[in-house]
Chains A and B, each alone.
Chain A
Amino acid sequence: MPQPKPVVQPEYDPTYLNSLREAYVIIALFAIFCSWSIFVCYNFGYLSPGEQLSEISTVLGMPSWAFWGIGLPWLVVDVVAVWFCFFYMTADNLGEAHEGEDLAEQVAHLHEGEEARGE
């Protein structure tokens, strides 16, 4: 008795899966650095209405809120970029370009339609 052919379950494209995984990490990175910058700058860098100051604490010459809220996270992002680009993101195969294939399909459909009308 012939054996039934095993059902082959299609597999997701690994480039798609890797890109999706990386997209989640990117959104998380954005959330972390957005929260960091806004939290520090808003809590330590904003004056209340009517308030004034004549002296400001500085780090490396910039207002300390700008250093801790913008300068430092900017540096950290650059370090994270090294990790993300060279150790996390995968060098997937993007495939061959099928130049002109979309247009060729369109032209083929066009002729199929013409032939059908001719019959």
Chain B
Amino acid sequence: MNSLTLVPLLAAGGSNAAIVTFSIYIVGVMVLAWLSNRLLQSKSFLSEYFLGSRSLGVWAFALTFAATSSSGGSFIGFPSLVYTHGWIVALWIGSYMIVPIVSMGLLAKRINQVARKSGSITIPDVLRDRFESPVFGAIATGLIVFFMVFNLIAQFKGGSVILQTLLQDVPLFRQASHGLADMLHGVPILGGSEDKPGYLLCLLVFTVAVVVYTAYGGFRAVVWTDVMQGLVMVGGVALMLPLALWAVGGLGNATREMAQMTPPDKVKLELSVPDSVSETFNIASNSWLVQDDGDGRRVFRTAARAQILPGEKTATYRDDNGDLSPKIPGIEITYAKQVENLSPDQLGHDVTIRVLESKEYVNGAGRTGVYVTGPGPHASSDAGFLPFSLAVSFFFMWTFSGAGQPANMVRLMAFNNATTLRRSIFAVSIYYSLIYFPLVIIFCCARVLLPGWETESDRIMPEMAKVTTELVHMPWLAGLLVAAPFAAVMSTMDSFLLMISSAVVRDIYQRNINPEASEQTIKRLTYAATIAVGTIAMLAAVSPPQFLQDIIVFTGSGLSTSFLAPVALMLYWPRFNRQGALAGMLGGFATHVTLYTVGTLKSGKVDAYELFNFHPFMVGLFASFVFAIAVAYLTPPPPEHLVRKYFYKDAAR
């Protein structure tokens, strides 16, 4: 299929399908929260609110585990990576084949059993009870709150950006954004860039929806919405895969075409018209421009919205600092077939193009085959996208980082029996097989169908949904397909929100301040804490710190390096003691933070120092195990009654 025939479809404008789907979806989660709240009335409040009374069955347990692990990155960032770097991303994500067996099977049965023996509800609870150490529980709570708060702010921002991306062409959304822009006019923090009102609107909608259903329904609402979200995600992929394959004429065609492609060059363009304009002339972001002046055809695509102001001849755009710049960023297509076939957009004026700067990809420029082999092209890294050491690091990281996440561990405490666990591990294995490998295929097809989205590769998922459904004359289906990303984001946000509020109410207030608080007090405090944490995260996300994606990676891997070794050893090693657990937790944390501090000082942004080319997660996890085992051996063995309680049959009770 000629990819050029698709380009006009993109300009056909948005429909309200996405907003209708989103609204139906929100109504669905609210109904689930209401049902969950009714269950809360008849059960032990804290155990039900934070752990669903340890009664999750196969579907609920499997899908809440899968959905919590799949954040917005799975449907926005990951497709963007496949589109930008090609087939090698299959290796980058390849360890998801074994993630369910490892991250569920390694700890689940034992952590569930230990939590039942002690009556623990949260992860700090388990650690505190297992070692009879309030100090250890408090340190674990501190680490969870420290990492999770940053992560929650990042997720709120990520969710809002995704929603904004999905809705930006929807007429109703644009009207609402303009209305909000008028209201916020003159408020410095809230005004900001022209995209800010849309972002704030999405942030507000997302926050209200997630906080309301999480606070009202608790863990069970989160789990049930996860089930719905999990089904939406797999349904979206199952629909899009055949559409994408049909559109490219089969996967073999797409792969062979990708083998011919060469990466685009990054350019800065001067765009001008012969005579000054009387009215503002807009050149939209992602506009195709063609220069054909006898020296050969050159095809460009803009990566920012540019304007020629009244009385001017040259276009400018607002750069990251808010200044007007005449150097319009964009890309130049280098793949000969596309250069030949792509047509310019009709802009309404005769635009002259001058290339001010041109920068080739550092790895892969001018070489065919880079999109179907490793290490994959990269604009700025000489080693390419996935050199060998990083491939090994990611294989370890995705597998064991998931096992060490406290949000996942809590779920491992919530299933009802071992048969549920066995069926769930299998169900999640199949679920991930149906999600991740098909996503690689779909977005390899997208490279062929939709050229030039290196300008804004985070939009490739909604664009692909739009194009594939238009091709089969079912545009309404796009709404269902784009529901998958916001389902993924919400299922992660609600879990993190509940995790922080459980730390505040259970671990800080009930276990350290007022153990004899009445159930009514705990109930009120729980609702208040969930709403307060959500509101604070939203306010922080109004003007969030930079480098949020890096912060997400930092906090996710930091939690795993701090928690995996102490938790695994406390479950399986009777000789393990409090001192070893504390050393493992703080040793992993310190190593991880040190490597990030060194990396940040070297690069000037949140970055990891990769010792021996390995990700800090691997180095930190190794250090955590070494500290934990060494200190445990160097200190006295644990009290006999604890070993008997947690490792022996008929424990003395």
Contact = CB atoms under 8 A, between A and B. Distances in A.
B422 A91 contact: yes
B105 A22 contact: yes
Interface residues of B, number: 78
B368 A110 contact: no
B647 A12 contact: yes
Given A81-B100, A98-B118, 9 more contacts: A26-B106, A27-B106, A29-B102, A56-B259, A78-B429, A86-B426, A89-B105, A95-B117, A97-B119
B94 A70 contact: yes
A92 B54 contact: no
B465 interface: no
A46 B426 contact: no
A100 B48 CA distance: 12
Given A13-B649, A107-B515, A99 B44 contact: yes
Contact of B251 (A11, A60, A91, A97): A60
A99 B599 CA distance: 45
Nearest to B132: A105
Contacts of A34: 95, 98, 392, 395-396, 399
Interface string B402-426: 0000000000000001110111011
A74 B437 contact: yes
B582 interface: no
Nearest to A97: B116
Contacts of B252: 58, 61
Contacts of B95: 34, 37
A40 B259 CA distance: 19
Contacts of A42: 374, 388, 391
Interface in B22-57: 44, 47, 54
B27 to A, nearest CB: 34
A50 B364 CA distance: 8
Contacts of B651: 13
A20 B572 contact: yes
Contacts of A116: none
B425 A52 contact: no
Contact of A63 (B87, B106, B118, B392): B87
B425 A92 contact: no
A102 B129 contact: yes
15 contacts: A16-B646, A19-B110, A23-B106, A26-B106, A38-B388, A56-B255, A58-B256, A61-B253, A62-B90, A62-B441, A69-B91, A71-B90, A99-B119, A102-B120, A102-B128
A99 B254 CA distance: 56
Nearest to A95: B116
Contacts of A30: 98, 101-102, 399
A101 B64 CA distance: 27
Nearest to B644: A10
Contact of A12 (B102, B417, B648): B648
Contacts of A61: 250-255
Contact of A38 (B368, B372, B395, B437): B395
Nearest to A31: B98
B101, B119, B253, B369, most chain A CB atoms within 10 A? B101
Interface in A62-88: 62-63, 65-66, 69-71, 73-75, 77-78, 80-82, 84-86
A75 to B, nearest CB: 8
Interface string A1-33: 000000000111111101110110011011001
Interface string B332-347: 0000000000000000
B125 interface: yes
B430 interface: yes
Interface in B147-197: none
Nearest to B93: A70
B90 A70 contact: yes
Contacts of A37: 91, 94-95, 97, 395
Given A77-B101, A98-B116, A92 B109 contact: yes
- Counting chain A residues whose Cβ lies within 8 A of the other chain, the interface size class is 35 or more
B313 interface: no
A12 to B, nearest CB: 6
Q: Is the interface of A mostly helix, strand, loop or mixed?
A: helix
B517 to A, nearest CB: 10
B433 interface: yes
B511 A103 contact: yes
Contacts of B419: 91
Contacts of B425: 81, 84-85, 89
A84 to B, nearest CB: 6
Given A85-B425, A100-B119, A19 B572 contact: yes
Contact of A98 (B117, B396, B418, B423): B117
Contacts of A115: none
A13 B648 contact: yes
Interface in A47-61: 47, 50-56, 58, 60-61
A100 B44 CA distance: 9
The 9 A-B pairs with the shortest beta carbon distances in the complex, nearest first, are A61-B251, A53-B369, A52-B367, A101-B119, A61-B252, A46-B374, A81-B429, A74-B97, A98-B119
A119 to B, nearest CB: 21
B491 interface: no
Contact of A82 (B94, B115, B426): B426
Nearest to A84: B101
A90 B120 CA distance: 24
B516 interface: yes
B74 interface: no
B403 to A, nearest CB: 10
Contact of B87 (A18, A38, A66): A66
A103 B120 CA distance: 9
A94 B368 contact: no
Contacts of B94: 37, 41, 69-70, 73-74
B29 to A, nearest CB: 28
B105 A26 contact: yes
A12 B649 contact: yes
Contacts of B91: 37-38, 41, 45, 66, 69-70
Contacts of B510: 103
B112 interface: yes
Contacts of B433: 74-75, 78
B373 A89 contact: no
Nearest to A20: B572
Contacts of A38: 91, 388, 391-392, 395
Given A46-B374, A95-B116, A98-B116, A71 B437 contact: yes
B113 interface: yes
A53, A80, A90, most chain B CB atoms within 10 A? A53
Contacts of A95: 113, 116-117
A30 to B, nearest CB: 5
B88 interface: yes
Given A15-B110, A54-B260, A91 B417 contact: yes
